Amino acid sequence: MKLHEFLKVKTALNDDLLSDLVSKFKKKHLKTGRFLLRKGQIADSYWFLEDGFCRSYYVKNDVEHTVWIEAPGELVCEIKSLRLQIPTEYSIQAMEPITYYTIKSEVLEQLVSESAELQAFMVRLWETRFIIAMDGLRAFQTMGAKERYGYLLKNFPNMEKLTLYQLANILGITQSSLSRIRRLK
Amino acid sequence: MKLHEFLKVKTALNDDLLSDLVSKFKKKHLKTGRFLLRKGQIADSYWFLEDGFCRSYYVKNDVEHTVWIEAPGELVCEIKSLRLQIPTEYSIQAMEPITYYTIKSEVLEQLVSESAELQAFMVRLWETRFIIAMDGLRAFQTMGAKERYGYLLKNFPNMEKLTLYQLANILGITQSSLSRIRRLK
DNA sequence: AATGTTTTTTGCCAAATGTCAAATTCAGAA
DNA sequence: TTCTGAATTTGACATTTGGCAAAAAACATT
């Protein structure tokens, strides 16, 4: 079971606590195109993606902007909506049939508050996300589109899963620009 | 004492633990232009900025790129270098005479590991940073330079402290472009 | 006030990216 | 295979942004 492995590797929980934690998750499935979260909802869960990719997108002026891709083996959470209790600006959609485990945030956070190991895990989780986000920001601040494209592919090979249009969104450029960038390299 | 207030508000520590924690920080000062951290060093501390602003910048091809501004009342930490134990890519420089408190990461993290309240505080700290970073990423992905400029000023009025050149860096454009954007608005 | 330094603005032109639409390619369904 | 719809590429042209250097403005020092 991937969730079990994930938590075993990432936390220092003993087997009892680990099993207890895992048992609090519910296994679910989603067909291609269905949503883990839809714009306007208030997020109240964490999801562990076991299998299949999702993409997060943002809608502005009736246009979809894909902002990120969620890969199997990741603990996914729309923390802004969850923490501020505001409707989320994002939709998280299954790009293919997915298997995931879900846990309500109150349940997870109750467990977290009772376990130093789990708290440490959460700190690391958000630290790591923050580091990745800051590296991305710097890519926008200091690189042109071509260089950013190379950076993204090198560090996130998963991006190959996206359509040209979606990948261009993530790079902050148009699909025609990305197509031309590809041609020249 | 600003540090004391900061921790009192942000953590749910009782007065004893709070005072104990505060006592582990050392108060320091830095003159304008001096560094909290220099490129190539391995970060091993957290800093609480009590007074005065700093800027973080990144050097690429011998050119400085200001990437962010650190304001009084913030707990500052170069988490990538600290966590991965790699030389930092950033320099953090005092933009004016600053007063700050410093604590070694081992010391803080030891205390954190012993206190559920402090652990919760650290989780919130990095969650919040992550949210801000993701909003910034989305600004790059979905806005042009003009709109991004408006967004930045509205949400981070501190940016007024920066020179045109530094602000342009943060926006990912050149100073001449920013100057032109300003003229038109 | 005079001087020197830094910051900002501006002009000129080049390069990058955007917009829109049509052509082409690709992939799956029939 | 053939057909169909989606994805990608391409062309023509507009707009934005960059690079560079000089001019102008703002600031600080004497």
A43: which 2 tokens? Answer: 């997020």
* A133-180 pLDDT per residue, tens: 999 999 999 999 999 999 999 999 999 999 999 999 999 999 999 999
Average pLDDT, integer, range A177-185: 90
B98: which 2 tokens? Answer: 């600053």
* B38-76 pLDDT per residue, tens: 999 999 999 999 999 999 999 988 889 999 999 999 999
CA distances, B91 to each of A40, A47, B37, B57, B59 (Å): 40, 37, 5, 5, 8
In this structure, what is the dihedral angle of CA atoms A152, A154, A158, A163, given to the nearest 10 degrees? 50
B47 CA → C19 C1’, Å: 48
Per-domain boundaries in chain A: 3-111
**pLDDT at residue number A1:** 64
Asked if A141 lies within 8 A of B80 by C-beta distance, the reply is: no
The C-alpha angle B3, B4, B6, rounded to 5 degrees, equals 65
* A63-84 pLDDT per residue, tens: 899 999 999 999 999 999 999 9
Strand C bases contacted by the protein (CB, 7 Å): 7-12, 16-21
The DSSP result for A122-179, as a single string, is HHHHHHHHHHHHHHHHHHHHH--HHHHHHHHHHH-GGGGGS-HHHHHHHHTS-HHHHH
Q: Is any Cβ of chain A less than 8 angstroms from the Cβ of B23?
A: no
**pLDDT at residue number B62:** 84
* B143-161 pLDDT per residue, tens: 999 999 999 999 999 999 9
Q: Are B118 and B111 in contact (CB under 8 A)?
A: yes
Class of domain A3-111: mainly beta
Is pLDDT above 90 for A61? Answer: no
Query: Rounded to two decimals, what is the model's pTM?
Result: 0.94
Asked if B172 lies within 8 A of A120 by C-beta distance, the reply is: no
φ and ψ at A44, to 5 degrees? -140, 15
Asked if B65 lies within 8 A of A142 by C-beta distance, the reply is: yes
Decide: CB of B63 under 7 A of nucleic strand D.
Answer: no
A77: number of Cβ within 10 Å: 21
Decide: CB of B158 under 7 A of nucleic strand D.
Answer: no
Q: Are A1 and A12 in contact (CB under 8 A)?
A: no
**pLDDT at residue number A108:** 97
